[in-house]
Amino acid sequence: MGEALSKAWRAVERHLREAPIRSYIEKEGHTLESTLDAYKANVYKSKGARTTLKLELYHMLEQEFALKGLPGLEARLKYGFYAYVTGLRFTPSDIENQKAVADLRYPVEWYPGTRMLQRRIHLHVGPTNSGKTYHALKSLEAAATGMYAGPLRLLAHEVFMRMNAKGRRTALITGEERRAPDDDPQFDISSCTVEMLDLNKTVDVAVIDEIQMLGSDDRGWAWTQALLGVKAKEVHLCGEARTVPLVQALCAMVGEKPIIHRYKRLSPLEMDKQSLDGDLNKLRKGDCIVSFSVMGIHALRKAIENKTGKKVATVYGGLPPETRAQQARLFNDPDNDYDYLVASDAIGMGLNLSIKRVIFESSVKFDGQKRGTLALADIKQIAGRAGRYKTAQAATDKSEAEEDLSAAKGETVADVNLISESNVTDLVDSAHRYQPSLPPSIYERALSLLHPGADPSNPLEPPPNDPSNIGLVTTLEKMDYPVIQKALGKEPPPIKTAGLLFPGTIVDRFAQYFPPGTPFSYVLLRLSELAQLNTHFHLCGLREALWLADLIEPVRNLTILDRIVFTSTPAGMGDPELWSGIIPALAKCVEQQSGGALYDIAEIPLELLETEVKMDRPYLRQLELLHKAIVVYLWLSYRFAGVFSTRALAQEVKKRVEDRIGNVLEGLSLENKRLELRKRRKADERAARMETMIAGEEDVYFDDQEEGQEGEAGITTEIAGGSDGEVRDEALIEPGGNDEEALTASSDRATKGPDGMSVSDQGPLYKRAAKLVEEAKKNRYNLEDSASTKVSGLGAQLEIPKHLHEAVDTGATEIGKDAISRP
């Protein structure tokens, strides 16, 4: 590690010369050089010593280097230096006070106003598509005041639309958007993302969706905060059964006992009989293939469209929520040719999808640090999306049934998508409730369309073994099948701990102990190091917060509260090339309290909207990054409204970017369709020309390829002769070049062989070659499925499918040899 440590020391020294902490060191009567030398001495003194924590620093550096390489070593050295400098000023009393501030063992005490309420907790648990969210939302719908908190903006928007359609004045509140009904600030219900839940407002009913997310290492703190802090007389929690023991324990800490409602899945979920064995021709309408990389998603989409001639909808986390919803609508619509969906695990929650069968492309996923087998809970969550009641085949019937029921009740059908788990349940329940006032024909038709085979006396219970309701799960490749099959047969383990994150007030108070110039990332690390936790909680990861803190560290005149806000921005580490310029630029606007108009921030690439639209993946990626930048701008505009003042402009730009992304996705599908049609047209032309050539007609031209271009499959062609595969005449046809003249000449010679005998007079030989042409025509020269095999004679002009090779060798080869042989 010696050489690496020397490099790390030099990097740390360069950093410290420009760091604000230098001013503090000099103010204390020391120099940076002398302080650094003293710190180095402590590091090397610890080498070889393992007896006390104080002397283990060198070995910690060794471990950090082994795990994270040179960057990890540099980060650990910097952290150690700041600990050394700040430790010189702390008395034992100071350290004890810091530990008291970092005591997180009693988070229930952070919400004294909530503790004064006597809340009634309802826990709705069950698998995907069991109706748990539907029943909780029924309580919210009936309440005078209430809140809904979900994991995604899509879900919050869906509930916002549903409640307003039912006549409830509901506001939408997310990190980057605030929308009140009819722009009236007075509303009864709010629908929000869980991080935006208002903990200061008292309401009658609160619904907290996907409560199992409280076990998340990244966002779990938001669900814990919502559960412990929401001021509601009645709280409905919806999620997986594995949360029950933990929720009971957390409620017991505040003297509350949850009422547990358990639900069964409304439609069966089964493994399909076998995998697709890699064959995309086995896809069926309503299938969804789940892939875990953006490149994999686009590659699959292209392959499926080329193979099937159908369009493919795509959904993944990098797309704006609005675009994801648009793609979902395309897939759900039975009247277009978007028969298939290719998606990431983003489909696990938040979208109303008509999936009949979920197909896992792989059972392995890269989690940002390493590749590993999918977690059991993730497999069940994704697989559970199959077999929703509103399948693609039944969508039209459901719409007709809605119209019938509404007409019979004298109502107008609201143009709104209901929450995904309750689409048909709500309608069937409505049919059952209004049965006495409905004509029998309408009631029975609606019920039979929506729930074939259901018992009219108990319409919410699905009929047993109804094939139309069964959700299927399988894999693309055979090797992944047993992994997914085994996972579906098991239950995930209970969630043991709930996530916590330091409230801003605790961070601000803790930071006051440190001298000016101390990096904020060090303050956060030190706070997490001293934190004490109850056994029911875990500290959520700080990776992104530390990364963001370091990005804005050079911006010196920010307050601690400003830095807390910036380390909470929705900017992910997956796009460092985007944020490394934009985040510091936005922070400088806050520092200067000016220059925050969207068009003044050069780092946000608005000029992309002035360029010509390109139907390719790199351009789509640029649009996705621009959209993320606009979202962060909007998010900050609600925290620093006086600085980032062009919110209306940003919202308009965001809409334009979303429109372009949708157009590019559509264009990519059309481009694939165009290329496939072009390939088939040229295949037909080749077949016709080859048939004419074999028949002995003259002046046949093969002009498929432009000069200097490769064939459509990206493979250059050669005409070879002889059974030994030797190239008979390299000068006649140059691989990958312009073959038109050479082929025209060989076509002329094809009329008669060297012996002067007409090709058409060769009897069986001609017939076998003609049969080859017809069979190849039927197969449309499937270039993707063919091996790039050099065959003799005319066969070399086509990438002939493997099962036709024998016919080429025994039939067309002889004709080809005669046709291209020089007299």
As a whole number of angstroms, the distance between CA 631 and CA 320 comes to: 9
As a whole number of angstroms, the distance between CA 722 and CA 383 comes to: 55
For residue 510, what pLDDT band results from cuts at 50, 70 and 90? very high
What single-letter amino acid sits at 8? A
Query: Pick the residue with more confidence: 468 or 760?
Result: 468
pLDDT of residue 583: 97
Query: Pick the residue with more confidence: 793 or 349?
Result: 349
pTM higher than 0.75 for the full model? no
Q: Per-residue pLDDT averaged across 639-648, rounded? A: 96
Q: Per-residue pLDDT averaged across 492-509, rounded? A: 95
Taking 80 as the threshold, does the pLDDT of residue 726 lie above it? no
The structural domains of the chain, ordered by start, are: 107-262 (3.40.50.300), 269-387+470-488 (3.40.50.300), 392-469 (no CATH), 696-820 (no CATH)
> How does strand 170-174 pair with strand 259-262?
unpaired
Ranked by mean pLDDT, which of 392-396, 407-411, 495-499 comes out on top? 495-499
Here the contacts of 71-76 (C-beta below 8 Å, separation 24 or greater) are 73/1, 73/4, 73/5, 73/8, 74/8, 74/11, 74/12
Characterize 174-192 residue by residue with b for buried, 16 or more Cβ atoms within 10 angstroms of its Cβ, and e for exposed.
bbbbbeebeeeeebbbbbb
Query: Pick the residue with more confidence: 653 or 687?
Result: 653
As a whole number of angstroms, the distance between CA 621 and CA 399 comes to: 36
For residue 676, what pLDDT band results from cuts at 50, 70 and 90? low
3 state DSSP class of 169:
coil
Per-residue pLDDT of 45-85, as tens digits, reads 777 655 444 446 777 788 888 878 888 888 888 888 888 88
As a whole number of angstroms, the distance between CA 698 and CA 375 comes to: 65
Residue 805 in tokens = 């090779």
pLDDT of residue 390: 47
Query: Pick the residue with more confidence: 731 or 512?
Result: 512
Here the contacts of 254-259 (C-beta below 8 Å, separation 24 or greater) are 254/108, 254/115, 254/228, 256/119, 256/121, 257/121, 258/121, 258/122, 258/123, 259/120, 259/121, 259/122, 259/123
Average pLDDT, the chain: 77
Strands (DSSP E) contained in 451-519 are 471-475, 498-500
Kind and range of the H or E element at 389? Answer: none
Q: Per-residue pLDDT averaged across 770-799, rounded? A: 45
For residue 129, what pLDDT band results from cuts at 50, 70 and 90? confident
Nearest to 190 by CA among 225, 119, 201: 201
Q: Per-residue pLDDT averaged across 367-395, rounded? A: 75
Ranked by mean pLDDT, which of 555-559, 672-676, 696-700, 800-804 comes out on top? 555-559
As a whole number of angstroms, the distance between CA 282 and CA 278 comes to: 9
Strands (DSSP E) contained in 29-72 are none
3-state SS record for 236-271 = EEEECHHHHHHHHHHHHHCCCCCEEEECCCCCCEEE
Q: What is the DSSP string of 361-378?
A: S-SEEE-SS-EEEPPHHH
3 state DSSP class of 33:
helix
Rounded alpha-carbon distances, angstroms, from residue 634 to 350, 586, 620, 645, 702: 22, 12, 21, 10, 57
Per-residue pLDDT of 132-183, as tens digits, reads 999 999 999 999 999 999 998 888 988 998 999 999 999 999 999 999 987 7
pLDDT of residue 786: 38
Residue with token string 């059908």 = 413
